Structures are given as structure tokens and as C-alpha cells.
Amino acid sequence: MNETKSGATGPIVIKKYANRRLYNTHTSSYVTLDHLCEMVKEGVEFEVRDARTGEDITRQVLAQIIFDEENKGQHLLPLQFLRQLIRFYGDSLQAFVPSYLEMSMESFTKNQHEMRQKFTDALGGKLGYKDFEQLCSRPSPPKAHGAPTRRCRTRSRRSEPAPRAPGSLMALPNPLLPRRRRVRMKSAT
């Protein structure tokens, strides 16, 4: 946080000049989008203002950081999500989307923090979450030739269909099921 002359804290002001350069008024130095990306990751609050007009352009700069990260191969946004997001522009529900996404991200962040904490507690702090991620991302060793493989079958081919939850559409009787059984029985004889 940046402390103003009155002693109140507020976001650091970054000025964007016509030549696309970004100037951090707190450190009196020029910064790049990569610097701003690191500031976001560190939790540093800032706002970006057009140096000529004073207009707040933080949203556009943050979007540019996201686009740059996506172009670097950090694909965090699925294509279907991006398409759906574009469809919401001009939709009657457009006003609700920002608050919904914000609440969803807050919930995700909270759950992520709780999961990391539980994981750390379960291991007694011996192995960090990043260590666990690296362990899980390692490729499994190749199996020896002729080694037995394990097949998991939830039900055999000739078993009854899986039970259906009461109250769901799938719980309704299927009039074709008895006919299928009769056809199978006839073809087996």
C-alpha cells in the first residue's frame, strides 16, 4: 500500500504515457507490464491512470497483463469460458456477471487457501503444497514388458443398468428396456 501525505493509505498510482511507458509514482521509476504482474501476485494495490487525461485505465492494463500471460503459454482461461463471457456482453444479465465472477473468485481463493492449509497440517508442515504439486506432476515410471495391468470395471456388460436417483428424470421408467432384454434373449438362443 502507498501512504499518502495525509497519512491515509491508498493504491499506488501508475501513470501511463502516450509512448506506452508506465511510471510508478511511488518508486519514481518506469515499470513494465511484467512488473505490474508481479505487483498483483504480491497483493500490491495499484491503479493505472492516463498521464494526459487522468482517466482510470486499470481495467484495460490488467486485461493486457492477462492477454500477455495467455500468449506466454499460461492458458488459464478455457476457450468455452471466453466464448461465454463474450456472449454476456449486451445481454440482459450483463450487469450481474461482474459481481458473480468476483464472488466466485473469492470463494475459489478461500477454498484454495483452506485446502493448502489442510494439506500442510496433514503433513505436519514437512512437505509444502508446491512440493506436492511437483510430486504429482512427475510422469509415472514405464511398466515392465509383460507386467500385469489392472483393469477397473464398474459393472459387467450384462448387468442391470445403474440405479437411478429418485426424483430425477432418469428415474422415470424406460419403456424400451424390457424390449431390449427380450431382443437380447432371443438373439442369444
What value does the CA radius of gyration of the chain take, rounded to a whole number of Å? Answer: 28
Give per-residue pLDDT as tens, 53-65. 999 999 999 999 9
Query: What is the average pLDDT score of the chain?
Result: 77
CA 118 to chain centre: 20
Question: What nine digits make up the cell of 21?
Answer: 511507458
12 φ/ψ angles, rounded to the nearest 5 degrees: -70, 140
Residues 99, 97: Cα–Cα separation, whole Å:
6
Chunked mean pLDDT (size 10), the chain, 189 residues: 52 94 95 95 95 96 94 89 92 91 94 86 67 62 52 46 49 50 55
Q: What is the pTM of this model?
A: 0.59
Give per-residue pLDDT as tens, 135-177. 666 665 555 555 555 444 444 444 455 554 454 444 445 555 5
Quick one: which H or E segment has residue 10?
strand 9-10
